[in-house]
């Protein structure tokens, strides 16, 4: 019930016929009291229809509900796809007694397939009948595609709650990593304020993970805040709320990577001592997305040479991020393998499903963290057979 853990929120997840084997494939989340909110979307220029429509809606009204389907992305579907996304919002609004512009529409699944609108509309009607405070779990299940398990998180503040659900397993890469997330809170926010809390939380979580280096057409993170906790807001509670948002986003992002398609190793990349944070992030991202690093992780091979080579080729500002080979140190699972550009000869044993890689550039104070996975045979199999 994570997405409904905060006061004043209900949700439901149903099977409307898009997915096979009776799997839930349509979710509905709403606030029972007037809410404010925001969303961040993929920066992929090939935008899916629901992203186009939801961005328009956010410019016109404060979001009160989210409707999401899985199985079909409603991307690369032309004008009909946009019309179908709008029709989904209209039906949701009709059933909930709100305006269509107050509905955020999300879709995830196969790109290029038309949205089966009649099934979606029927599912919306069914979900509206089953909205409940306990429906968060079924909603989290309904947004899954190749995910192997639902992803939920809760953070309890002093007198308020932040809860959320996400989905994602493949096509995961920053600038929103195919992933969706819906976060709800009963903390009081004024219209226009939500983005100032959501953006920094997303930048350090969903925008700092990678499974396969692919940026989706449909990614979205939605935040709804309804103030139902009725707590007295202070600078101290604002700071606590910001921490709770970061915690929920961070946990949901980590769950996405841990459920990466075909993954057997979760790797945490930490870059320290870069010239600035932007260059640290560029290096961390380059290491995290290197196919050679990721395949070495799958082979449990601490091939630090691949890490060093990736770090030295991190693109930044029209060139490459600064790196001095004679100052670079690399530590893998607490074992120093390179110190000030000199190999130590030590070899870590990568025997479990987790690997910590730390690079110290010794050039400044810039730092960044990243989560990634190995690249396995199963990843190729899952994506080769995705549509069949």
**For residues 197, 199, 205 and 206, what is the CA-based torsion angle, rounded to 10 degrees?**
130
- CA 62/CA 376 separation, integer angstroms: 43
Q: Is the pLDDT of residue 178 over 70?
A: no
| Residue in 177, 131, 113, 114 with CA at minimum distance from that of residue 27 | 131
**pLDDT digits 0-9 by tens, 376-385:** 888 778 778 7
**pLDDT digits 0-9 by tens, 190-218:** 999 999 999 999 988 888 877 655 556 77
Mean pLDDT of 30-52: 93
- CA 342/CA 297 separation, integer angstroms: 22
Q: Is the pLDDT of residue 367 over 70?
A: yes
pLDDT of amino acid 173: 53
- CA 371/CA 341 separation, integer angstroms: 25
pLDDT of amino acid 213: 57
- CA 376/CA 242 separation, integer angstroms: 36
φ, ψ of residue 279 to 5 degrees: the values are -70, -35
Mean pLDDT of 266-292: 95
Non-local CB neighbours of 259 within 8 Å, separated by 6+ positions: 147, 148, 149, 151, 168, 169
For the chain, the C-alpha Rg in angstroms (whole number) is: 21
What are the beta bridge partners of residue 40? 221
Domains plus CATH for the chain?
Answer: 2-258 (3.60.70.12), 266-384 (3.10.20.340)
Tokens of 219: 């990614």
Share of the chain above pLDDT 90, in %: 78
**pLDDT digits 0-9 by tens, 211-252:** 655 556 778 999 999 999 999 999 999 999 999 999 999 999
pTM for this model (two decimals): 0.83
Non-local CB neighbours of 76 within 8 Å, separated by 6+ positions: 46, 48, 111, 112, 217
Share of the chain above pLDDT 70, in %: 95
- CA 106/CA 104 separation, integer angstroms: 7
Non-local CB neighbours of 120 within 8 Å, separated by 6+ positions: 16, 18, 26, 69, 84, 88
| Residue in 372, 315, 362, 371 with CA at minimum distance from that of residue 338 | 362
pLDDT of amino acid 166: 95
**pLDDT digits 0-9 by tens, 47-76:** 899 999 999 999 999 999 999 999 999 998
In this prediction, residue 177 has a pLDDT band, given cuts at 50, 70 and 90, of very low
Q: Which residues are catalytic?
A: 178
């Amino acid at each position: 019930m994570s997405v409904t853990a905060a006061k004043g929120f209900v949700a439901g997840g149903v099977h409307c016929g898009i997915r096979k084997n009776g799997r839930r494939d349509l979710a509905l989340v709403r606030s029972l009291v007037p809410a404010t909110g925001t969303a961040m979307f993929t920066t992929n220029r090939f935008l899916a229809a629901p992203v186009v429509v939801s961005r328009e809606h956010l410019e016109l009204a404060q979001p009160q509900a989210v409707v999401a389907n899985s199985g079909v992305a409603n991307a690369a579907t032309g004008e009909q796809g946009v019309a179908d996304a709008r029709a989904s919002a209209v039906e949701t609004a009709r059933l909930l007694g709100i305006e269509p512009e107050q509905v955020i529409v999300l879709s995830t699944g196969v790109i290029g397939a038309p949205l089966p609108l009649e099934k979606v509309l029927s599912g919306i009607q069914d979900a509206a009948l089953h909205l409940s405070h306990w429906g968060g779990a079924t909603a989290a299940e309904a947004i899954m595609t190749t995910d192997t398990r639902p992803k939920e998180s809760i953070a309890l503040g002093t007198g308020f709650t932040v809860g959320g659900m996400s989905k994602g397993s493949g096509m995961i890469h920053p600038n929103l990593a195919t992933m969706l997330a819906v976060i709800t809170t009963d903390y009081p926010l004024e219209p226009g304020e939500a983005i100032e809390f959501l953006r920094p939380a997303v930048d350090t979580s969903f925008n700092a993970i990678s499974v396969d280096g692919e940026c989706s057409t449909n990614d979205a993170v939605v935040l709804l805040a309804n103030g139902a906790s009725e707590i007295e807001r202070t600078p101290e509670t604002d700071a606590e709320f910001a921490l709770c948002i970061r915690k929920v986003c961070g946990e949901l992002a980590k769950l996405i990577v841990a459920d990466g398609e075909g993954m057997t190793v979760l790797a945490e990349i930490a870059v320290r001592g870069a010239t600035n944070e932007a260059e640290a992030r560029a290096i961390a991202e380059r290491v995290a997305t290197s196919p050679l690093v990721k395949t070495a992780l799958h082979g449990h091979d601490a091939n630090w040479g691949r890490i060093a080579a990736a770090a030295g080729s991190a693109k930044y500002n029209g060139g490459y991020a600064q790196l001095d080979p004679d100052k670079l140190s690399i530590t893998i699972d607490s074992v120093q393998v390179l110190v000030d550009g000199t190999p130590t000869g030590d070899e870590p044993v990568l025997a479990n499903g987790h690997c910590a890689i730390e690079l110290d550039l010794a050039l400044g104070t810039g730092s960044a963290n990243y989560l990634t996975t190995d690249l396995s045979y199963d990843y190729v199999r899952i994506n080769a057979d995705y549509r069949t």
